Chain A
Amino acid sequence: MSSAAALVLSARGVVKTFVSGESKLEILHGVDLDLVAGERLALMGPSGAGKSTLLHVLGLLERPTAGSVTLEGTDAWSLGTEQRASLRNRHLGFVFQFYHLIAELDAVENVMLPAMIAQSRGEFASRKREHLAKARGLLEGFGLGARLKHRPTQLSGGERQRVALARALFLDPPILIADEPTGNLDRDTGEVVLELLFREQQRRQLSLLLVTHDERLAARCEHVLRMDAGRISNGRRDAR
């Protein structure tokens, strides 16, 4: 395990219980997890093991029933809604299995969306040229130079996922959370997306938390955590 000083994301004793009427269902049973700066960490496990729930808690989208999540030294779940949203906006980049692009926006606008959310109208307008250049640069770098003005429905699955990756990287967050990023793509297309994902992670020295079912994909990460029935079953294991 790396030193505590290099930790960018850390979870301690995370418990998540869903209550439905009289019954309670505990999905996460006190999970501990550390993500160190610049590392690739894969999270594996069978369906229903609690991977997605843990990912949502770590991504500040779902409040844990107990435990804490520390992001860049801040106890994220002790913050107010607005501050937590700002933390999510600036420190976390998400790549989802189903791309999750906004259908009404073209590729460039989708990529700029995190900046639109982070900035006021005046601030965004004053930096619009800069944002446009950056978004175009990212998309051109991902081989989408001819697709800048295309809407998601006009793009293939692989192209959509590349746009989603560009969007996740747009505000240069230190952490990238990818949930089955190739789960909806064929093997070759998935490979192209993974190449880009790992290339950017390497180049930007991002911390990558990757949820996957794919052993081969997990093998490309430095560390693999296996989850089973709401617990990390293997501690921290070097994948290689």
Chain B
Amino acid sequence: MYRIFLSWRFLRQRRTNLIGVFGIFLAVGALILILSIMTGFLEETRKSARGSLSDIILGVTPYSRNGLPRDPAPILAEIRRDERVAGAAAHLAWMCLLTRDDEWSLGVLTDSQRSQYAGIKLTGIDVADERGAAEFIESLERVDKQGERVVDVKNPFAPPPEYDADIGRPRDRIIVGERVMRAHSLARGDRVTLMTAVPDPRSDTGWSARKREFVVAGTFRSGENEIDLQRVYVDRTQVARFLAGVNEDQALPKDAIEYSEVLVKLADYERDARAVVADLSLRLTQARLIDEYCSIVTWEEFRGPLLGAIENERVLMGIMLSLILVVAGFTIFAILSMMVTEKRRDIGILTALGATPRGVLALFLWIGFWDALIGALAGALVGTWLAIEIDPIEFWLSETFGIQIFNREVYIFDSIPSVVTPIAVALIVLGAFVCTLLFAALPAWRAANLDPVEALRNE
């Protein structure tokens, strides 16, 4: 009984113990606050890393098909047979240059300072398949003042009212990212030219140039800077015709490339992703719809290096911040060591009255336990509160002291992202307990092994 009673009494009566409690409080509170903000930052970064990627991306190499079907219909049908698949859409993507026939737009191509606007990823899509498979439709509805919405979201490639039908051969429509729109000073109904090169075995150089005019039907906004700056959408079959070098109304040649990737959306990504990737790999290979040059990956695997870096950062941050706990634990060690020296006589008295070395060990471990309990609980409460309320607190601090703590213009976030995960809070509290008890163990062991006679002589 005396272990708990005396440890609590020693803790209350000795003010130096409060330093240890405060140390743990500070460490736990700071850890929760910083890790919550870090987790918030990383989750936001992770979201932005995913962007408009679908759950599973099936990539093919368009110019080495080894006899595989060039038409995406069989592979889409096979993928959609899987009940776990919510939607699938074929894309035909190609890198192009985009320009208007004016000085400004050509300047974009030649000015190294603005070279980021020059390369464009032309993406051919089937509007009917996009809904449920990718975020294309949503991105059309998200247009803000920088862009111009398409006339009909359900039929986005319909000619815009500004389209002049009397300009000769009918041009196909293009939907551009809103940053592309702004970079080239475009408006709905304007004509833009896409230029690219495609492999061509009949050509002396092995490559043939392609150039075609399109009419701007409107803009989309994915919310990702890179995509809104570098992507344009055109109907997939028209992209195939463009790359094959045939006109908009001509039939596709047999060897035309019709798709380069298939995006697959799952009903439950977390549950099924890995299993569906494995199953699709097997089934599509057996059906001779893909070969060893094709890849089927989840979006996380697609962004593997970036996500790996984010995860590494989180782990490293956790390890570095855990050092705060070690410092707090060391404070406990120092205070308890001092206490054992101060309490030598009391240890002798307790032994004379019948306490065992094990009891004395437990007595000092209990002091460590109280330190951890009070410090960790208070730290967890305050740290969690700070993490939840960090935005108004930062605002208040900035207002009060006239300094900007979090510059919202530097980051893509409107507020300080903070995510408090109960499991992380529990682990930090547990870590504080383990750390404190480990650091308390050494002085407690020293107390338990004191010679009671020597301790009693300690006057």
Seen from chain A, the residues whose Cβ lies within 8 Å of a Cβ on chain B are 56, 59, 61-62, 81-82, 85-86, 88-90, 94, 96, 98, 100-105, 113-114, 116-121, 123-125, 167
Contact = CB atoms under 8 A, between A and B. Distances in A.
Interface of B: 1-2, 4-6, 9-10, 12-14, 345-346, 348-359, 451-453, 456, 459
B353 A114 contact: yes
A82 B355 CA distance: 8
B354 A114 contact: yes
Contacts of A94: 352-353
Given A56-B453, A117-B2, A121-B4, A100 B349 contact: yes
B12 to A, nearest CB: 8
A119 B453 contact: no
Contacts of B452: 61-62
Contacts of B349: 100-102
A96 B1 contact: no
Contacts of A89: 353-354
B18 to A, nearest CB: 15
B354 A86 contact: yes
Contact of A81 (B1, B12, B350, B357): B357
Nearest to A86: B354
B335 to A, nearest CB: 16
Contact of B354 (A85, A100, A105, A124): A85
Nearest to A113: B353
Q: Which of B4, B14, B351 has the most CB of A within 10 A?
A: B351
Contact of A82 (B348, B351, B358): B358
A61 B6 CA distance: 22
A103 to B, nearest CB: 8
Contact of A100 (B14, B358, B456): B456
A90 B354 contact: yes
Q: Which of B1, B6, B13 has the most CB of A within 10 A?
A: B1
Contacts of A119: 1
A116 B352 contact: no
Nearest to A89: B354
Given A100-B349, A102-B6, A102-B346, A82 B453 contact: no
Chain B interface SS verdict (over half): helix
11 contacts: A62-B451, A62-B453, A85-B354, A85-B356, A85-B359, A100-B348, A100-B456, A102-B6, A104-B9, A104-B12, A119-B1
Contact of A96 (B351, B358, B456): B456
A59 B12 CA distance: 32
A119 B5 CA distance: 12
Given A81-B356, A98-B459, A104 B10 contact: yes
Nearest to B352: A94
Given A82-B358, A100-B456, A117-B359, A88 B2 contact: no
A141 B433 CA distance: 46
Contacts of B14: 104
Contacts of B9: 104-105
A119 B359 CA distance: 12
A59 B352 contact: yes
Contacts of B5: 116
A61 B354 contact: no
Nearest to B354: A89
A59 to B, nearest CB: 7
A114 B349 CA distance: 10
B451 to A, nearest CB: 8
A113 B2 contact: yes
B356 A118 contact: no
Nearest to A119: B1
Given A100-B456, A116-B5, A120-B1, A61 B351 contact: yes
Contacts of B345: 100
The 3 closest A-B pairs by CB, nearest first: A89-B354, A116-B2, A124-B1
Given A98-B459, A124-B1, 5 more contacts: A61-B352, A81-B356, A105-B6, A113-B2, A121-B4
A121 B6 CA distance: 12
A62 B451 CA distance: 8
A104 B15 CA distance: 12
A117 B2 CA distance: 6
B354 A117 contact: yes
A147 to B, nearest CB: 19
A121 B1 contact: yes
Contacts of A101: 349
B1 to A, nearest CB: 4
Contacts of B459: 98
A82 B6 contact: no
Given A59-B352, A82-B358, A104 B1 contact: no
A37 B222 CA distance: 96
Nearest to A87: B354
Q: Which of A102, A118, A125 has the most CB of B within 10 A?
A: A102
Nearest to B356: A85
Contact of A116 (B1, B10, B451): B1
B366 to A, nearest CB: 12
Contacts of B453: 56, 61-62
Contacts of A59: 352
A167 B354 CA distance: 12
Contacts of B348: 100
B221 to A, nearest CB: 66
Contacts of A104: 6, 9-10, 12-14
Contacts of A100: 345, 348-349, 352, 456
Nearest to A110: B349
